[in-house]
């Protein structure tokens, strides 16, 4: 048994998934990977635009995609618990 894990990275999204919540893994110029999760707003001219939960838009070059898939809607955020009286 080898001492490392191997994973198969698959891009299973397409421009038809615009409007869906997606999870993307992209390769950075440094060779590291970075993840982007949010709603795929557009996919044109080789660039994907993803709106994150905080409202920021991430642009991902199609050529940098290492993996991508449609994911379920985000769970609702929990409300902060009130401080106990005291």
Residue pLDDT, tens place only, 37-47: 999 999 999 99
Q: Is the pLDDT of residue 80 over 90?
A: no
- In whole angstroms, give the CA distance from residue 23 to residue 20: 10
Does 5 or 49 have the greater pLDDT score?
A: 49
Instruction: Dump strand ranges (E) for 5-56.
Output: 21-27, 33-44, 47-51
Label residues 27-58 b or e (16+ Cβ within 10 Å = b). Answer: beeeeeeeebebbbeebeeeebbbeeeeeeeb
Provide the whole-model pTM: 0.79
Q: Of all residues in the chain, what percent are helix, strand and coil, respectively (each to 5)? A: 5, 40, 50
């Amino acid at each position: 048994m080898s001492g490392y894990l191997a994973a198969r990275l698959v891009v299973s999204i397409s421009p038809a998934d615009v409007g869906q919540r997606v999870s993307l893994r992209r390769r950075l110029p440094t060779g590291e990977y970075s993840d982007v999760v949010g709603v795929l707003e557009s996919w044109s001219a080789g660039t994907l635009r993803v709106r994150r939960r905080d409202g920021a838009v991430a642009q991902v070059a199609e050529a940098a995609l290492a993996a991508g898939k449609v994911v379920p809607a985000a769970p609702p955020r929990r409300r902060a618990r009130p401080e106990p009286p005291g």
